[in-house]
């Protein structure tokens, strides 16, 4: 109910009376008063004036489910949002909810992770309030071999959300890092639970560097943050809503598949194409020119002998990036 009250107040041009709120939500005046009190405790500045009603003056600065929800225009993604102060890994937390039947579209966001996971068994540095650590549960009706589109579509959505909301010129380093210039801003890790021929659910984890003012020496040449790139502190609730809106557009509206348009858009934003890349295939290191992303989302690389090698996962080093 709290998110519905926030939505009503957010969309109202003027004060709304407690009576109006209780009638439109079908709850008692007492329940409205109680919900307003809890919202104030969460940081919503709600003014109340006798004979006029309530007016929303400000939404909280810190991440808060109700504040994200009032900026959402999705049908599936973010219908349930859980914000945690601290967690081991939002991916692990959501996988455990997924195995207990949590609904598709559930989102978990944490202010801190104590065991944040990156791709290829790496650690994702997740200090309190430095970044946004977010995971999304989906239940696509696909076979395990068909879910490979989830990662590039999520990358595309992230790139769009950043460029639109932060006014940056971010690009995608295949398969799913988001970079600004030569430095990484976002990492994406998709995991799944499947039976032999059916996906039970997928969990896509997104780590965004937001408030970092510096990085440890070992990664400072290849990592950046929104604050470092823009010099501004963003409204994280509005930003998360923008991300979820774009994820719905790219994932749900494409039915979790790469369409001709999404491949075209992905290629347009992909910084890997046109660069020398090094990758490992069949136990061997290979080098060539990245020339295309095919309709399955694989990277096509032209080797020095003129043949095309396709890469579908793993680590790719891109000359001039990392």
Binding site for ligand BTN (CB under 6 A): 89-91, 113, 116-119, 122, 124, 133-135, 177, 187-189, 205-207
Q: Which long-range contacts (CB under 8 A, 24 or more apart) does 289-295 make?
A: 290/174, 290/318, 292/267, 293/152, 293/174, 293/263, 293/266, 293/267, 294/263, 295/258, 295/260, 295/263
Minimum distance of ligand BTN from residue 204's CB (angstroms): 8
Q: Which helix (H) or strand (E) holds 49?
A: strand 45-49
Judged by beta carbon, residue 151 or residue 245, the one nearer ligand BTN is 151
Residue with tokens 């940081």: 43
Report how far apart, in Å, the C-alpha atoms of 205 and of each of 80, 138, 155, 256 are: 16, 11, 11, 16
Judged by beta carbon, residue 146 or residue 191, the one nearer ligand BTN is 191
DSSP 261-304: HHHHHHHHHBSSTTSEEEEEETTEEEEEEEEEE-TTS-EEEEET
> CA torsion sign, 72 to 73 to 77 to 80?
positive
Rounded to 5 degrees, φ, ψ at 210 are: -110, -60
Minimum distance of ligand BTN from residue 186's CB (angstroms): 8
Judged by beta carbon, residue 121 or residue 260, the one nearer ligand BTN is 121
Minimum distance of ligand BTN from residue 280's CB (angstroms): 17
Judged by beta carbon, residue 56 or residue 206, the one nearer ligand BTN is 206
Judged by beta carbon, residue 57 or residue 127, the one nearer ligand BTN is 127
* Minimal CB distance residue for ligand BTN: 187
* 29/23 Cα distance (integer angstroms): 9
Judged by beta carbon, residue 125 or residue 235, the one nearer ligand BTN is 125
Minimum distance of ligand BTN from residue 127's CB (angstroms): 12
Minimum distance of ligand BTN from residue 102's CB (angstroms): 16
Minimum distance of ligand BTN from residue 203's CB (angstroms): 8
Minimum distance of ligand BTN from residue 215's CB (angstroms): 14
Q: Do residues 128 and 114 make contact, with C-beta atoms less than 8 angstroms apart?
A: no
DSSP 242-263: HHHHHHIIIIITTTTS--HHHH
Residue with tokens 């990156």: 118
Judged by beta carbon, residue 113 or residue 148, the one nearer ligand BTN is 113
């Amino acid at each position: 109910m709290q998110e519905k009250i926030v939505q009503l107040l957010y969309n109202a041009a003027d004060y709304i009376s407690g009576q109006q709120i209780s009638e439109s939500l079908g709850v008692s005046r007492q329940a409205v008063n109680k919900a307003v009190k809890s919202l104030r405790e969460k940081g919503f500045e709600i003014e109340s004036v006798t004979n006029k009603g309530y007016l929303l003056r400000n939404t909280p600065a810190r991440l808060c489910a109700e504040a994200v929800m009032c900026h959402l225009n999705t049908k599936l993604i973010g219908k349930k949002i859980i914000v945690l102060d601290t967690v081991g890994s939002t991916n692990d937390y959501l996988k455990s909810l997924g195995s207990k039947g949590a609904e598709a579209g559930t989102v978990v966001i944490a202010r801190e992770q104590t065991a944040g996971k990156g791709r290829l068994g790496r650690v994702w540095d997740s200090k309190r309030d430095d970044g946004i650590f977010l995971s999304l549960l989906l239940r696509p009706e696909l076979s395990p071999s068909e879910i490979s589109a989830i990662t590039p579509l999520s990358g595309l959505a992230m790139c769009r959300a950043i460029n639109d909301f932060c006014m940056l010129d971010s690009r995608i380093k295949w398969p799913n890092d988001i970079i600004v210039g030569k430095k990484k801003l976002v990492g994406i890790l998709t995991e799944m639970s499947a039976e032999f021929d059916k996906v039970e659910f997928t969990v896509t984890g997104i780590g965004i560097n937001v408030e970092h003012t510096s990085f440890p020496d070992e990664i400072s040449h290849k990592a950046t943050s929104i604050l470092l790139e823009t010099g501004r502190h963003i409204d994280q609730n509005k930003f998360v809503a923008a991300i979820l809106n774009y994820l719905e557009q790219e994932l749900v509206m494409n039915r979790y598949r790469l369409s001709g348009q999404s491949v075209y858009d992905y290629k347009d934003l992909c910084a890997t194409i046109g660069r020398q890349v090094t990758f490992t295939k069949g136990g061997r290191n290979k080098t060539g020119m990245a020339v295309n992303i095919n309709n399955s989302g694989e990277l096509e690389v032209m080797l020095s002998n003129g043949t095309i090698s396709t890469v579908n996962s793993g680590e790719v080093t891109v000359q001039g990036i990392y």
